[in-house]
A and B are shown apart, each in its own frame.
Chain A
Amino acid sequence: MMGNEKKKINLTIDGIQVEAHEGEMVLEAARRAGIDIPTLCYHPAVGPIGSCRVCVVEIENGRGLPASCVTPVREGMVVRTNTEAVREARRTVVELILASHPQDCLQCERNGKCELQELAMRLGIRESRFHREKEHRESDTSSVALVRDPEKCILCGRCVKMCSETQTVGALGFAYRGTDALVTPMFERGLAESKCVSCGQCAKICPVGAIHEKEEWQKVADMISDPDLHVVVQVAPAVRAAIGEEFGIPAGTPVTGKLATALKRLGFDAVFDTQFTADLTIMEEGTELLERMKTKGPLPLVTSCSPGWIRYAETFHPEFIPNISSCKSPQQMMGAVIKTYYADKAGIDPDKIASISVMPCTAKKFECARPEMNGSGRRDVDVVLTTRELARMIRQAGIRFEELPDGEFDAPLGISTGAATIFGVTGGVMEAALRTVYEIVMKKPLGKVEFLQVRGMDGIKEATIDLGGTKVRVAVAHGLSNASKLLKHIKETGETYHFIEVMACPGGCIMGGGQPRSVDSDIAVKRAAALYTEDRSMEMRKSHENPAVARLYEEFLQKPGSDIAHKLLHTTYESVDEAAAASRKEAM
């Protein structure tokens, strides 16, 4: 691609001839050549920062020990990555970081999966020569989704770069300087008071235990033990594309069957699949799209599955609120269906049902706590666990995930199609919607099910679909900076689209804030492949073919867009500024 146009550069790293391209950093060139220079602040998702100095190297005829992550390659450069001076410098850097880092690793959320711990181990640190009293800092538990523990923060800057550049939220920033420096929301307020949208991308790339999801898995384990509760679980598509990584299964291996078995062995009374309501979402949202195209507005219709995106729109782009689909996310649709339709069918008092969901997402914790998410007359989803939390539950229970036989989700809310599977990857909701909308409008089966134009990891994707003469213009954005770019483009140029899919996380749900942490630069592509493979292997690949969804309409919801469907499956949004102004007025 781009690399081919760039000038080739030859350099020597540890005696190995390496070919790089202009603009590439020494670190990247070295890693391609199989030399794994240790890093701490560097993360492929945000690129070089150059703050930690762990990746220092020696360069012949150069001064000092430059950080390889921010040193561009030059023709004829001779680099040494493993000299005594380099090793000593790296050890000193890590010792200094450790000197201001708490030593309570055994109680830390990241124990055993901490990049700093690994680095200390790898560099062979056996003593701590430096001691510094560090002021105690309270952890921030104000958010329903995320916990920040500033005491553990090593000031690498990953989260700040992610929050401000990749997500253009800017909730986190550096404040003060020198030994007083810290990462914090404005005025050292809690995250809940900031513009944080709970996407959790910060938690996913934090190298230590300074930001993580609010842990609720112990609570769920207790609920399962309670004989009075009927504990129901639903699990999102993206979870099956990644949870295997937590148990040493290679990334990109779908583990759907093992996941269903694990959930049953954990003792959940019913194991449902969020994919069922993903299919349901397509029925509702597809209907909404066709309706809006008929009545001319408001268009473009924008998807509403991603709660991080919803919060972002409410906070930063309230002018687009009328464009957002009124459909609840599949998680919340499932919550509402469980405590009404399922409760009724199974003859269980909905107040005795604990509705749990396993999500790749931290913003889902925020979503389920929104006051309007009570279509059943009570809170529809009680607890949201991230993929990482479920992995902890599985480990605690002594279940050897990697050896589990394949199981199945429970009917009827566990039946789904391939269209629902791909909801977990950028472009997937769009593709699923197109598969259904095409067949409804054209009244004939699709020749080729795949819409490759909306696949892939480009930040913004566009396509035009011909629906019997009507040209439907669609766009897909993932990562909030791309969403923002697309919305600004629409505002400035007036360009018309009919349908837009937005996912808050770069890559979509497979790269959600609650997914297993990874420093693999190809991880998004691997996880996407898992979902596309699964889709191909499914018998049914279009949402409107889902017989269980059809039965749900027949027995309960009547038809897409009906009054009862609206009551249970649709919602409203509000501008954060206006809501705040209204509540101020009320208080006065």
Chain B
Amino acid sequence: MASSVEAKRSKLESKGGECKCHGKLPDDRFAKLHDIIEEHKDERGSLIPVLHEAQQLFGCLPEDVQKQVAKGLDVPESEVYGVATFYSLFSLKPKGRWIVNVCLGTACYVKGAADCLEALKKELGVDLGGTSKDGLFTLQGVRCVGACALAPVVVIDDTVYAKVKPEDIKRILAEHVEANAKEAHAS
């Protein structure tokens, strides 16, 4: 199931920070979002937890989701947008199946993280923050992940790849797809 949803999602275009997946996906996620909002409605400072759960539900925070949150919590739309764009954890665009985090901390940097990043950009055909055309990978830079002994480090979801060289990138990505493809099919 998940793979078909992912396949559909990968086809969806996102332009100018605006996600257009709403309405095209036959699901009841907006009803679920309604329940999430109702649950948190009377708590103080409920905007961030609601957006967090909304993002888990939708994979990102498209305009219609933000609008429903604003209406439901009686918070101005501009404020919801402000919070959604302020925190790097929130994303307005759909993210890929897996998140590639390149460590750009000091240790990794001196050990050649910038070259690894270039290789990843080239291999995935995206810039920092972008998602590959096949919808599989989103490329992000992070500051220190605290594994300096393994520098340079690339983390894909929960898997840590140590002492990465630019020429390893192609293989790492292929391995990751291979190792996780079964899981995707199973779920």
A172-B85 contact, Cβ under 8 Å, with A186-B66, A187-B18:
no
Q: Is the CB of B86 within 8 A of A175?
A: yes
Check: B80 CB closer than 8 A to any chain A CB: yes
Q: Is the CB of B80 within 8 A of A186?
A: yes
Across the interface, B86 reaches (CB within 8 A) one of A163, A176, A185, namely A176
Residue of B nearest to A160 (CB): B78
Min CB distance A185 to B, Å, is: 6
Q: Is the CB of A188 within 8 A of B17?
A: yes
Residue of A nearest to B76 (CB): A170
Mark A181-215 against chain B: 1 for CB-CB distance below 8 A, else 0. Answer: 00011111000001100000000000000000000
Which residues from chain B contact A444 at a C-beta distance below 8 Å?
none
Mark B66-107 against chain A: 1 for CB-CB distance below 8 A, else 0. Answer: 110010000111111110011000000000000000000000
Check: B115 CB closer than 8 A to any chain A CB: no
Q: Is the CB of B86 within 8 A of A187?
A: no
Which residues of B are at the interface with A, using a C-beta cutoff of 8 A? Answer: 16-18, 63, 66-67, 70, 75-82, 85-86
Report the separation of the CA atoms of residues A185 and B76 in the bound assembly, to the nearest whole angstrom: 10
Which residues from chain A contact B70 at a C-beta distance below 8 Å?
186
Which residues from chain B contact A456 at a C-beta distance below 8 Å?
none
Report the separation of the CA atoms of residues A163 and B70 in the bound assembly, to the nearest whole angstrom: 16
Mark A477-496 against chain B: 1 for CB-CB distance below 8 A, else 0. Answer: 00000000000000000000
A170-B77 contact, Cβ under 8 Å, with A186-B66, A187-B18, A188-B17:
yes
Which residues from chain A contact B18 at a C-beta distance below 8 Å?
187
**Centre residue among B16, B63, B86 by max chain A CB count within 10 A:** B86
A173-B79 contact, Cβ under 8 Å, with A187-B17, A187-B18, A188-B17:
yes
Report the separation of the CA atoms of residues A177 and B86 in the bound assembly, to the nearest whole angstrom: 6
Residue of A nearest to B67 (CB): A186
Q: Is the CB of A185 within 8 A of B85?
A: no
Which residues from chain A contact B85 at a C-beta distance below 8 Å?
175-177
Min CB distance A448 to B, Å, is: 43
Which residues from chain A contact B75 at a C-beta distance below 8 Å?
170
A164-B78 contact, Cβ under 8 Å, with A176-B86, A177-B86:
yes
Q: Is the CB of B78 within 8 A of A173?
A: yes
Q: Is the CB of A171 within 8 A of B17?
A: no
Check: A169 CB closer than 8 A to any chain B CB: yes
Which residues from chain A contact B77 at a C-beta distance below 8 Å?
170, 185-186, 194-195
Q: Is the CB of A164 within 8 A of B63?
A: no
Residue of A nearest to B16 (CB): A188
Report the separation of the CA atoms of residues A171 and B17 in the bound assembly, to the nearest whole angstrom: 18
Min CB distance A500 to B, Å, is: 23
Q: Is the CB of A175 within 8 A of B76?
A: no
Min CB distance A588 to B, Å, is: 13
Report the separation of the CA atoms of residues A74 and B1 in the bound assembly, to the nearest whole angstrom: 64
Min CB distance A181 to B, Å, is: 9
Across the interface, A186 reaches (CB within 8 A) one of B16, B78, B86, namely B78
Q: Is the CB of A170 within 8 A of B17?
A: no
Across the interface, B79 reaches (CB within 8 A) one of A164, A176, A177, A187, namely A164
List 15 additional contacts besides A170-B75, A187-B66; criterion CB under 8 Å. A160-B78, A164-B76, A164-B78, A169-B76, A173-B76, A174-B86, A176-B86, A185-B78, A186-B66, A186-B67, A186-B80, A187-B18, A187-B63, A188-B17, A195-B77
Residue of B nearest to A196 (CB): B78
Residue of A nearest to B92 (CB): A187
4 smallest A-B Cβ distances: which pairs? A170-B76, A173-B78, A186-B77, A186-B81
Which residues from chain B contact A170 at a C-beta distance below 8 Å?
75-79
Report the separation of the CA atoms of residues A195 and B78 in the bound assembly, to the nearest whole angstrom: 10
Residue of B nearest to A195 (CB): B77
**Centre residue among B17, B63, B70, B82 by max chain A CB count within 10 A:** B82
Report the separation of the CA atoms of residues A349 and B67 in the bound assembly, to the nearest whole angstrom: 49
A173-B82 contact, Cβ under 8 Å, with A187-B63, A195-B77:
yes
Q: Is the CB of A184 within 8 A of B78?
A: yes
Mark A151-177 against chain B: 1 for CB-CB distance below 8 A, else 0. Answer: 000000000100110000111111111
Report the separation of the CA atoms of residues A160 and B81 in the bound assembly, to the nearest whole angstrom: 13
Which residues from chain B contact A171 at a C-beta distance below 8 Å?
76, 78
Min CB distance A42 to B, Å, is: 22
Min CB distance B51 to A, Å, is: 14
A173-B86 contact, Cβ under 8 Å, with A187-B17, A188-B17:
no
Of the A-B pairs whose beta carbons lie under 8 Å apart in the complex, a sample of 10, sorted by A's number, is A160-B78, A164-B79, A175-B81, A175-B86, A186-B66, A186-B81, A187-B66, A187-B81, A188-B16, A194-B77
**Centre residue among B16, B17, B78 by max chain A CB count within 10 A:** B78
Which residues from chain B contact A174 at a C-beta distance below 8 Å?
82, 86
Residue of B nearest to A171 (CB): B78
Residue of A nearest to B77 (CB): A186
A172-B78 contact, Cβ under 8 Å, with A186-B66, A187-B17, A187-B18:
yes
Min CB distance B78 to A, Å, is: 3
Report the separation of the CA atoms of residues A394 and B100 in the bound assembly, to the nearest whole angstrom: 62
Report the separation of the CA atoms of residues A553 and B75 in the bound assembly, to the nearest whole angstrom: 48
Report the separation of the CA atoms of residues A175 and B79 in the bound assembly, to the nearest whole angstrom: 8
Min CB distance A553 to B, Å, is: 45
Report the separation of the CA atoms of residues A195 and B76 in the bound assembly, to the nearest whole angstrom: 9
Which residues from chain B contact A188 at a C-beta distance below 8 Å?
16-17
Which residues from chain B contact A169 at a C-beta distance below 8 Å?
76
Residue of B nearest to A175 (CB): B85
Report the separation of the CA atoms of residues A176 and B77 in the bound assembly, to the nearest whole angstrom: 14
Which residues from chain B contact A185 at a C-beta distance below 8 Å?
77-78
Which residues from chain B contact A173 at a C-beta distance below 8 Å?
76, 78-79, 81-82
Report the separation of the CA atoms of residues A186 and B81 in the bound assembly, to the nearest whole angstrom: 6
Report the separation of the CA atoms of residues A521 and B82 in the bound assembly, to the nearest whole angstrom: 30
Report the separation of the CA atoms of residues A567 and B80 in the bound assembly, to the nearest whole angstrom: 43
